[in-house]
């Protein structure tokens, strides 16, 4: 897979840890200038400093994706630093076990917060990036959905179902500007957060019973998919949600 992003600028949300930090490193290592956006200022500053020390071009941006004013400032800061935006990775999201419950159990206030972050922040940042990408002749947006979007039996799953719908809608709206919009729906992946929050027995059950591919999901599986969707090799793909789940839930 040819993934040279030299001369490109990427903006990654939820960039301070987990998949977000892996996305940042992968894009930077392949030549992209990368703006790291996260509500945790300390984490993105530390990662940005470490990458800059290696000779990569990165910028730490402290912002809450649920705040439209923060997002406008983040886009402006990225453009000021790197001249534009070509790639947007909408990775930020609320996804702990807390949100894998029904609406009544979660409550209205937390449900609003969940959708503000997982859906509306994605829509608002995509809209803020659209004119900047259009000025460059187009771009790529990759949203993070989830295998939970296909069952939608929790508030979290419904928020990711909405991401699937938003991906199709944005792909349709933004096509006239040469912007492709796709999403990745990961299954159970061994990120640091998942390993810390979820019991080992759950990982074993997925690997041995619920997936067709009998190995754990790896961060690299999702990173490779992201790189493909951002590359010219996927230039005929838009409005799609790609499941990276090891065959879950086909084995059920």
Using an 8 Å Cβ cutoff, are 216 and 207 in contact? yes
From CA 218, how far away is CA 39, in angstroms rounded? 25
What number of CA atoms fall less than 13 Å from residue 12's CA on the CB side? 33
For residues 192 and 251, the answer to whether their CB atoms sit within 8 Å is no
Alpha carbon distance, N-terminus to C-terminus of the chain:
32
156 is catalytic: yes
Active-site hit among 156, 174, 206, 248: 156
Phi and psi torsions of 201, nearest 5°: -60, -30
Annotated catalytic sites, by residue? 156
């Amino acid at each position: 897979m040819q993934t040279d992003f030299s001369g490109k600028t990427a903006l990654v949300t939820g960039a301070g840890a987990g998949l977000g930090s892996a996305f940042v490193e992968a894009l930077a290592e392949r030549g992209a200038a990368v703006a790291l956006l996260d509500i945790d200022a300390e984490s993105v500053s530390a990662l940005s400093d470490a990458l800059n020390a290696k000779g990569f071009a990165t910028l730490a941006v402290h912002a809450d994706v649920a705040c439209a004013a923060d997002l406008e400032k983040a886009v402006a800061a990225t453009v000021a630093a790197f001249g534009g935006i070509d790639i947007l990775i909408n990775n930020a999201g609320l996804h702990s076990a807390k949100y894998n419950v029904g609406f009544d159990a979660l409550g209205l206030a937390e449900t609003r917060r969940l959708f503000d972050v997982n859906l509306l922040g994605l829509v608002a940042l995509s809209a803020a990036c659209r004119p900047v990408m259009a000025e460059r002749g187009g771009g790529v947006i990759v949203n993070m959905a989830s295998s939970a979007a296909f069952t939608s039996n929790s508030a979290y799953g419904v928020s990711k179902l909405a991401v699937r719908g938003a991906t199709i809608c944005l792909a349709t709206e933004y096509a006239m500007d040469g912007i492709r919009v796709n999403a990745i729906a990961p299954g159970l992946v061994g990120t640091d957060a998942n390993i810390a929050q979820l019991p080992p027995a759950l990982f074993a059950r997925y690997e041995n019973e619920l997936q067709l591919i009998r190995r754990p999901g790896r961060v690299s599986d999702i990173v490779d998919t992201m790189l493909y969707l951002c590359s010219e090799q996927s230039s005929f793909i838009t409005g799609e949600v790609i499941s990276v789940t090891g065959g879950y839930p086909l084995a059920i």
